[in-house]
Amino acid sequence: MDSEGFLNGRPTLVQADDLWLTVPAHSGRVNPARNGTHTHPGAHPGGNTGERAGGLAILRGISLRVAEAEAVGIVGPSGSGKTSLLMLLAGLERPTSGTVTIAGTRLADLDEDALARFRRRTTGIVFQSFQLIPTMTALENVLVPLELAGHRDGARDARAALAAVGLDHRLDHLPGELSGGEQQRVALARAFVTRPRLLLADEPTGNLDSQTGSAIMDLLFGLQRRHGTTMLLITHDPALAARCDRRLAVRDGRLAEGGPHPVSSPLPGSLPGPLHGGAARQAAP
């Protein structure tokens, strides 16, 4: 076993150990990763997280492991903590306690600059709201992560990434000149252009009609399989969750118990999928 460990014969890429995220009650904290929206306890009508001494526990002891190249669907009610979990795995938020280890690197050991560099090298993120830079063309948006990663001449890679999502004819268009589906294609090209080992996707089809969303998901799964990217995908759509190798259900800040635990994952909250020992697909409750 190497330093990253193995999960069902594959190297573990993502490991979270006993993650807690507690915020002061009525903190009114603004989290830029959530599109600059003002998030605070109670902002979510469906939120059902619990009070903990001195604050509100948003995540309550989540542990999970995800293998290299595995696609894991994260399901659960609104306000259960799915996005918060993704933010911790991305290193965009720090847990109150517990550790996140990505590709053998403990995020807690990195200062902010090192964490940003590590994230740029390792992780791609796709948001429901696309999060493109409105004043930059499609090509320029895709160039951003390449330039941040120090590629001097990334134009060829950026063009190829846009071609891979069928947008080679819209390179010079601004996001405002593109449809929602096209904007999400640009976001996919931007997320994959640096060939990240980990792709985090938060409801990537949430703002799209079902036909456009389905085309986006075909692209996303195609890119993920082609590049062997490890993916965690938050979705409310059971059909999308079923396309993943495995599902994790988050409820009330915890991974939900229930369902037979697959051979691949001894941790609670995992629902089996076909990747692992041919276990039957099982939709999350």
Ligand X SMILES: Nc1ncnc2c1ncn2[C@@H]1O[C@H](COP(=O)(O)OP(=O)(O)OP(=O)(O)O)[C@@H](O)[C@H]1O
Q: Is 80 in the site for ligand X (CB under 6 A)?
A: yes
Q: Is 31 in the site for ligand X (CB under 6 A)?
A: yes
Q: Is 49 in the site for ligand X (CB under 6 A)?
A: yes
Q: Give 22's strand partners.
A: 57
Q: Which of 62, 67, 76, 237 binds ligand X (CB under 6 A)?
A: 76
Distances, alpha carbon 86 to alpha carbons 3, 62, 109, 158, 176, in Å: 23, 12, 19, 26, 27
Strands 230-234 and 198-202, how do they pair? Answer: parallel
The region of 6-14, 76-84, 115-123, 188-196 touching ligand X under the rule CB under 6 A is 76-84
Give the residue with the Cβ less far from ligand X, 3 or 27.
Answer: 27
Q: Is 79 in the site for ligand X (CB under 6 A)?
A: yes
The region of 33-41, 94-102, 119-127, 169-177 touching ligand X under the rule CB under 6 A is 33-41
By CB under 6 A, how many residues form the interface with ligand X? Answer: 20
Report the alpha-carbon distance of residue 82 to residue 78 in Å, rounded.
8
Q: Is 84 in the site for ligand X (CB under 6 A)?
A: yes
State in angstroms the smallest separation of the CB of 228 from ligand X. 27
Which residue in the shown chain puts its C-beta closest to ligand X? 47
Q: Which of 3, 37, 43, 104 binds ligand X (CB under 6 A)?
A: 43
DSSP letter string, 253-270: TEEPP-SPPPTT--STTE
Distances, alpha carbon 134 to alpha carbons 130, 158, 183, in Å: 10, 17, 10
Instruction: Count other Cβ atoms within 10 Å, centred on residue 102.
Output: 24
Q: Which of 5, 17, 20, 44 binds ligand X (CB under 6 A)?
A: 44
Which one, of 214, 209, 197, 200, lies nearest residue 104 by Cα? 197
Give the residue with the Cβ less far from ligand X, 39 or 123.
Answer: 39
Is residue 59 within 8 A of residue 84, CB to CB? The reply is: yes
Report the alpha-carbon distance of residue 144 to residue 54 in Å, rounded.
40
Q: Which of 13, 23, 146, 158 binds ligand X (CB under 6 A)?
A: 23
| Per-residue binding letters, 224-243, with ligand X (x by CB under 6 A) | --------------------
Longest CA–CA span in the chain (Å) reads 55
Residues that bind ligand X in the complex, under the rule CB under 6 A: 23, 27, 29, 31, 39-41, 43-44, 47, 49, 58, 76, 78-84
